[in-house]
Amino acid sequence: DYRTFFRSSTTIHMSKVDEESAEEYKEAFYLFDKNKDGKIDAAEMASLMRHMGQNLNGIELNDAMNEAGSGGFVTLDGFITWMGKKVTDEFTETDIIEAFQVFDKDGKGLINTSELRHVLTNVGDKLDEQMVEDMLMRAVGSGDGAINYESFVRSMLRK
């Protein structure tokens, strides 16, 4: 649904792993894939994440294994996808609101509906027209074709 898309979309920030990061993740993955079978287990994942500067506790490691893999193993593709999502999830509501401020020319907390439509359909991960219409229908408008982007972001991030 559009809320999930909005949370992970590069419309506001980059959610896809760039080539440089993907190569870094690939090199690290293969460094810790001790038996070279193309997948890592929980112990290898814990070592890999420590190598990347993140010391996961038992619950975090279990969550990572479940999110990035299946059957107790994580493949390279699963790892890269998970890392991309993990980086994306670090953006806060405030980060997204600050990104919208770029389009707020007069500092009133509003973005023109047509400008928002353009951003959502042409920048980053492009949304289809129907998804954009659904999002705009949920938006809090001022009645004059402008949307309060703080309310809009909060509405889209609501679970």
CB 150 within 8 A of CB 111: no
- Alpha-carbon distances of 126 from 67, 107, 122, 144, 149, rounded to whole Å: 25, 26, 5, 25, 18
Tens of pLDDT along 29-80?
Answer: 999 998 889 999 999 999 999 988 888 899 999 999 999 999 999 999 899 8
pTM: 0.49
CB 159 within 8 A of CB 3: yes
Question: Residue 13: helix, strand or coil by DSSP?
Answer: coil
